Amino acid sequence: MSTYSTNDFRGGLKIMLDGDPYNMMESEFVKPGKGQAFYKVRIRNLKNGRVLDKTFRSGETVEAADVHETSMQYLYSDGTTWHFMNPATYEQMEADETAMADASQWIKEQDVCQVTLWNNQPLTVTPPNFVELAVTQTDPGVRGDTSSGGTKPATLETGAVVKVPLFISEGEVLKIDTRTGEYVSRA
């Protein structure tokens, strides 16, 4: 089990706290000239995204979290489990619904995702920033209708629903920004 001392603290460090993995967002050294030294850190729980502030005494150690990121190709889903493969080693891994979170509504088979592994298990899955998906259902646009701000909902092949311009019709392939869930353009 590897550990980090407060001297190692910096943004990006992955640590364990109360059994959960955390990403260190920032660390500040605090020391009155004649007093005790502390490190104030802001950390994000990698399982649920919650951010918390914590104060460590200088010299304390924390357990390192075995967390790293890797690119993996999405293979298929059986509805409860999403299967991924490391394209370099052909090693396969399964991500559950929690790890997938919003990612499941954006990805198609063969898409390459960023997978954060904790103890070699997928912890979070980040889809590509941009994906291209076909429209499976949308109402015909009515020209001149501006009551909805010039947009209408469209259901994509993955099941995601996005707002699209009125001129988009079923069957078209759209470029979507997965970080905002917004339509970018026709593909």
Partner 1 sequence: MSPAPEGRAPDWRPTAPLENLRRRAELLTATRDFFARRGVLEVETPLLAHAPVPDLHLDSFEVTTGLGESLWLQTSPEYAMKRLLAASSGPIFQLSKAFRQGEAGRRHNPEFTLLEWYRPGFDHHALMDEMDAYLAAALPEIEPAERRTYTEAFEDAVGLDPHEATVGDLAAAGRAEALDAPDDLDRDGWLHLLLAQVVEPQLGRVDGDALRPTYLYDFPASQAALARIRTDPGRPPVAERFEVFVEGVELANGFHELTDAGEQRQRFEHELEARRAAGKSQVPLDERFLAALGAGLPDCAGVALGFDRLTMLAVGSDEITEVIAFPTARA
User: Which residues here bind partner 1, judged by CB under 8 A?
Assistant: 7, 28-38, 40, 52-60
Question: Taking the complex as a whole, how short is the minimal distance between the CB of residue 65 and partner 1, in angstroms?
Answer: 19
Q: Say how far apart CA 110 and CA 13 lie, in whole Å.
A: 31
Distances (CA, A) of 164 to 51, 105, 144, 173, 185: 33, 16, 15, 12, 9
**Nearest to residue 29, comparing CAs of 13, 6, 45, 48?**
6
Q: How far is CA 86 from the centre of its chain?
A: 18
Residue 109, Cβ neighbours under 10 Å: how many? 10
Nearer to partner 1, 29 or 76 (CB): 29
Nearer to partner 1, 52 or 161 (CB): 52
Joined tokens for residue 23:
């990403």
Nearer to partner 1, 7 or 81 (CB): 7
Question: Taking the complex as a whole, how short is the minimal distance between the CB of residue 45 and partner 1, in angstroms?
Answer: 14
Nearer to partner 1, 50 or 179 (CB): 50
Question: Taking the complex as a whole, how short is the minimal distance between the CB of residue 57 and partner 1, in angstroms?
Answer: 5
Question: Taking the complex as a whole, how short is the minimal distance between the CB of residue 12 and partner 1, in angstroms?
Answer: 16
Residue 102, Cβ neighbours under 10 Å: how many? 13
Question: Taking the complex as a whole, how short is the minimal distance between the CB of residue 71 and partner 1, in angstroms?
Answer: 24
Nearer to partner 1, 7 or 136 (CB): 7
